[in-house]
Amino acid sequence: MGDLRGFASVVVAAIGLALLAGCAVRPAALPDVTATAPTSAAATPTSGPTTDAGGDAPPQYSLNERHHERGDVAAGSQASLDAARAQVDRDLAELQRPVAQDAVEGVLDDAGAPDPWIVTYPADGTVVFEAQVATAGCLVGRVPPAGRAEVHTAGWVADGGCHALDGH
């Protein structure tokens, strides 16, 4: 009976180690960050250890903000994104000043951007937004309490979507 308990303990321990070892294996579907790291001076650390320990070691800290980077708008999408920008720009110009956030949301919704990231800054009432227009790209803009709104077309943020302003 003692041999059976000893054997069972060894089997349970082996299964436990196998499961723990499986947690340490990188799945094939995840990209290798070091293979896609930019070679610009901005990605090179300016202080701290210079050896690459992998993962999130000090040499990779500069890569943590790459999700803010925007890509280019695809050539086939630029025309529809420009049309949406023109509509938003025109409709924002027609709004009574100061512009309320819900009015800006309505303008974006009418232009095909129904789920924007949008905020009104309490200090001066400026409405700032980033909005996805279908699969074309992003509209990024600001509507000051007085004066003309600024609306620009932009590509996707590196980690997907349009929102990059506050460091999501």
Helices marked H in the chain: 2-23, 33-36, 75-93, 101-110
What's the pLDDT at 63? 60
What's the pLDDT at 135? 85
Helices and strands (H and E) in the chain: how many: 4, 4
- pLDDT (tens digit, 0 to 9) for every residue of the chain, 168 residues total? 556 666 667 666 666 555 555 544 443 333 333 333 333 333 333 444 444 445 555 566 566 666 667 888 888 889 999 999 999 999 999 999 999 999 999 999 999 999 999 999 999 999 999 999 988 899 999 999 999 999 999 998 887 788 875 544
Distance CA 57, CA 156 (A): 27
In the chain, what is the straight-line distance between the N-terminal and C-terminal CA atoms, in Å?
A: 59
